[in-house]
Amino acid sequence: MNKQLMILLIGRIITNIADSLYMIATIWYVKTTTDSAFLIGLTSAIAMLPVTLQFLYGPMIDRFSKRKILFFAEIGQGSLIAVISVLFFTNALWLPLLFFLMFLALALSEATYPTESALIESLSDKKDLTKVNSVFACSYQTLDIISDAISGILIVFVGLGVIYVSNSILLIGTGLLFLFYLKVPKSKKEDQTTSLKFLAQYKNDFIDGYQVIKKQHTLLNIMFGVIVINVMATMGLAMLPVISSNSAEFGFWLTAMSVGTLVGTVLASKLEHIPLNRIMPYTSLFSGVCWMVAFSQNDKTVYSYVLFGFAWIGIGLLAIFVQTIIQVNLPKGYLGIGFAFISSILGSLSPLGYFLGGLFGELSSGPLILMLSGLGYFGFTIYFLVHPKLKKLNTNISTNFG
């Protein structure tokens, strides 16, 4: 990888670690202060809401400097986490205020994902896209494993306040890294002069991008199936803190997820030659089987963590495949808004999944919801195999649908 991709990668790694740690800290804060499955699910639902707003960032990503977007997003997020730190240490961290500040911070964080995805495409050769995506995902997932594994221990030994403060510093430092060291090519839209005012230009770009995405019928068909997976999976993920007796145990579940995702991202470039109509449905089937078997027993053992990790191998594969499919099939001038729109589509119902998981978990039990959530992967397998267009996709991941 070239130097600019390395700087982007370093920034992504730091941001992922910070996001992971302060989200775990917030969820555990809610658990210890309320011990409510519903409020735990609500916390995760609020955390996912910013994903649904990514489509609003699209026109700005393609029109304005991506380096400055990354800078302001990181600095803003770090500043908001600093406010949470102050409120925590002064015992003024009111739960609704925590939710509001967390929402704003994560809304800024979400602006970085489509921006970076667009930059990866512009800074990489097309033939290397799957490999570069895998390297990015593999690198920050490796450190995610570390942060997930030690999160419970950190909460016990250093406390939530220290986690908030350190993450604020990391995010502000990442913003400065992007500002002073990241050099990226301008898009065609950045160089275009326009007499329109900002809002008028934003509206034009938004409509233009929407029309482009609307024509991607095959891509949207795949995304619809992924949405169903997301809803079902998030219902179960909302229950992980509920079934955990302490923060360390919660960290073990998160570590299993991260290790599995890491293995999946490493394998992605090795399997990219397999046709879509085979690799996508059968990967999902593998994840569904492992997920449901992991939670089929009342007594959780090391095998439960291992099987849950295996489920996330398939999920990691699917994540890389979906990202590469989007990059390959969107027109170059619309990558920013394209990723923003599609990310919003993919995340549109995830908050509902977390909310329903918390609600049903309050009324029934966490293990039962986790078992049911694995059915989404079986549903995606059937959907892909019977859909008239998707079952005929015998091209590989890196090939445009045409």
pLDDT at 285: 95
Q: What percent of the chain has pLDDT over 70?
A: 84
Task: Measure the CA–CA gap between 101 and 81, rounded to whole angstroms.
Answer: 8
In this prediction, residue 38 carries a pLDDT of 86
Model pLDDT, residue 357: 86
- What is the domain-level CATH number for residue 206? 1.20.1250.20
What pLDDT, on a 0 to 100 scale, did the predictor assign at position 129? 72
Q: How far apart are CA 232 and CA 184, in angstroms?
A: 38
Closest CA to 78 of 146, 152, 154, 11: 11
> Per residue in 40-78, pLDDT tens?
888 888 887 887 776 677 667 767 788 888 999 999 999
pLDDT tens for 147-197 read 666 666 677 677 788 888 988 999 999 999 998 988 876 666 655 555 556
**What kind and span of H or E run contains 329?**
helix 302-329
Q: Is residue 351 part of a domain?
A: yes
User: Between 185 and 253, whose confidence is greater?
Assistant: 253
Number of domains in the chain: 1
In-domain check, residue 51:
yes
Query: Tokens 């990514």, residue?
Result: 54
Around Cβ 125, how many Cβ atoms within 10 Å? 8
- Confidence band for 402, pLDDT divided at 50, 70 and 90: low
Quote the pLDDT of residue 257. 86
401 within some domain: no
Within-domain flag for 189 = no
Question: Hey, how many other C-beta atoms are within 10 angstroms of the C-beta on 301?
Answer: 9
pLDDT for residue 309 is more than 90: yes
pLDDT in tens, 337-378: 776 677 777 776 778 888 888 888 888 777 888 888 889 899
Higher pLDDT, 198 or 11: 11
pLDDT of residue 171: 93
> Which residue has better confidence, 194 or 11?
11
Average pLDDT over the chain reads: 81
Give the pLDDT of residue 314: 92
Lowest mean pLDDT segment, chosen from 81-95, 326-340, 361-375: 326-340
**80 against 12, higher pLDDT:** 80
Separation CA 379–CA 28 (nearest Å) = 32
Structural domain range at position 77 = 3-182+197-392
Segment 128-150, tens digit of pLDDT: 776 777 777 666 656 666 666 66
Binned at pLDDT 50, 70 and 90, residue 382 comes out as very high
Looking at 215-301, list the stretches that DSSP marks H as alpha helix, in order from N- to C-terminal side. Answer: 217-237, 240-243, 247-271, 276-294
Closest CA to 167 of 28, 251, 74: 74
Here the tokens at position 302 are: 């090391």
pLDDT of residue 392: 87
Contact 267, 318 (CB under 8 A): no
Q: Is the pLDDT of residue 202 over 60?
A: yes
Q: What is the pLDDT of residue 75?
A: 95
Q: Is 190 among the domain residues?
A: no
Q: Is residue 192 part of a domain?
A: no
Q: Is position 187 within any domain?
A: no
Q: Which of 115-119, 133-137, 236-240 has the lowest mean pLDDT?
A: 133-137
pTM here is: 0.67
